[in-house]
Chains A and B, each alone.
Chain A
């Protein structure tokens, strides 16, 4: 069974631009969550999507948004990029919603660098 696939692996942008990251969950998984990992703040929850609906959102500004498609694939968008958005963005999928206790399976992440 294929794992969680994130594209692209690396991305370089400049301040003020916007970016879209993609995540394909494990087949049959309907929940997709996004996390930001930085050396200073560690791993922080961005949001969770289930059945094309955002269920939860972490403490991030509105510049961070996402969506989920009917095939459970998810995209995350960051607008008006800032230097502080440089991070590893991790996507995780699970069969059911967060709170059901099922482990989340992570992708390899997208390394976003802002110049």
Chain B
């Protein structure tokens, strides 16, 4: 079974600063996908960014980018020019790439990092 670890329960930065959230994972699978989701107080889980394990290029979505280190099993999220609306719980998630034999076991989530953007 795979595990996802987020070592920072809470982080606080000033508006406009850059912040990096850490995530490590453990798996024996070679084909998988990694995601970052944010969950604001409204509680809806919103996809931030997605990375395919077989792609070496780091994914980028506007102010959000990842540093994917497959050998180290590390998948950190960098938020540039942070905004007040970025305040939320951020979850790192893993999904295996098996399509047969029962398929993937759903998303495996880390415990989350509570990110607070201060004005």
Question: Are A and B associated in one complex?
Answer: yes
| Interface SS, B side | loop
| Interface SS, A side | strand
Q: At the interface, yes or no: A28 with Cβ under 8 Å from chain B? A: no
**Binary flags per residue of A52-87, CB closer than 8 Å to B gives 1, else 0:** 000110100000000000000000000000000000
Interface residues on B, range: 20 to 34
Chain B 33-51 interface residues, beta-carbon cutoff 8 Å to A: 33, 35, 37, 42-47, 50
Taking a contact as CB atoms under 8 Å apart, the answer to whether A108 and B43 are in contact is: yes
How many Å lie between the Cα of A33 and that of B52 in the bound state? Answer: 20
Interface residues on A, range: 20 to 34
The 8 Å CB contact of A35, one of B47, B98, B106, is B106
19 pairs, CB–CB < 8 Å, chain A vs chain B = A35-B106, A42-B109, A56-B102, A56-B103, A58-B106, A92-B45, A98-B104, A99-B95, A99-B97, A99-B104, A100-B97, A100-B99, A101-B52, A101-B97, A104-B47, A105-B47, A106-B46, A108-B43, A109-B44
Chain A residues within CB distance 8 Å of chain B: 33, 35, 42-43, 45-48, 55-56, 58, 88, 90, 92, 97-101, 103-109
